[in-house]
Structure formats: structure tokens, C-alpha cells
Amino acid sequence: MRTFIYMVRHGESPKIEGNERTRGLTDKGKLDAHLITELLRDEGIDHFVSSPYRRATLTIEELAQSSGKEVTVLEALREMVFVSDDKIMPDKELYPLVQKLFSDPEYSAPDGESIMTCQNRVIPALKQMLKEYQGQKVVIGTHGVVMTLMMGYYDRQYDLEFLWKTSKPDIYRMEFNKDELVETQRLWKVQL
């Protein structure tokens, strides 16, 4: 009995408004969310689960609605906490921090999470979905680091170098036989 997990990394999001939890999608992010709906519409998705961060839910919301389904929000799937109060960090500060976090999985910035802490939060949630939704198809609205940690738990090739090569949005279909990863396929084609 095969279970399919569709990791859907959120679309482009402006880093100028609100905080990490509340920032939405840019116009390009909204257009890409529509393209995701077109791409996955005929996959026969059974469940939609998302990070509580707005950009992640907005990326899969249209697809869920077109399938007549609701998006279940799981706090455990939230983005990695990089700094306190879910402050938005500019990429020039965030990318070196992510590099350091991956090089030392126990390191964390003040009031932030380490790679180990984040992985210990998200992996049990993914394992529960594999158990609860066995034999079904599940879309997860997620974030780059969280997606990389979940995928990397099952296959070590999904590491920091993989993360740097992903796009916003991105889609990876993971096929499981019970709790064993059988195959991973990238479904998103970067739009020019």
C-alpha cells in the first residue's frame, strides 16, 4: 500500500510586511499557486496539511478548494524559528545563518531553533501523517528548511546543497511503502 506525500514549498513571499507568520504571497507567488493547482489538480489528493504560516497555506489553498477539501493546519509544521518573535530576516543575514545551522545541527541563534530541535518537531508530525493517511495522497504546504529536514530524514542526499537548489515554489512527490521511502520525484518545473 503506497502513500504519496507531496511536499509543496511555498511561493514567493514579500519580506517587507508583517512577520514570518503573517507574510503572504507576491503577485508571482499567487500566480505560481494557481500553476500548482493546475499541475496537481488530477493527482487525486486526499488530504491537505500545512504549516500555520500564511504563505504556506495560501500556496495550497486554491488546490484544496478545487478538490473540495479543507486545509488542516499543523503547528508542528511551522517554519524553523531563526530568531525571536518570528522577525523577518533579510536574505543577506538569513543565508549565512542557515549555513551555520546546517554545519552545526545543535547550534541556534538566541531564541531560535537548532536543526535538531526543528527536526525533532517536524519528523514525528510526518510519521503520524504516514500512519494516519496510509495508502492515500497528502499535500503538505511547507518551507524550504522544514521540507529539506523532512526529506533528508529519509534520504541524506536532501541536505543544505539540495536546499540551495530548490525554488519558491517547489514540489517533490515522495512515495512511501508504509514508512519506507521508495522514490522521490520533483514535479515543479521552474517557470521562466
- pLDDT value at residue 86: 78
> What's this model's pTM, rounded to 2 decimal places?
0.96
Query: Which residues does residue 58 pair with via DSSP β-bridges, in sequence order?
Result: none
DSSP state, 106? T
Cell matching residue 140: 503538505
Query: Which residues does residue 50 pair with via DSSP β-bridges, in sequence order?
Result: 73, 141
- pLDDT value at residue 60: 98
C-alpha 81/C-alpha 29 separation (Å) is: 22
- pLDDT value at residue 191: 58
- pLDDT value at residue 45: 98
Low-confidence ranges of the chain (pLDDT < 50): 192
C-alpha 19/C-alpha 123 separation (Å) is: 25
Kindly tell me the burial class for residue 92, based on how many C-beta atoms sit within 10 Å of its own C-beta (0-12, 13-18, 19 or more): exposed
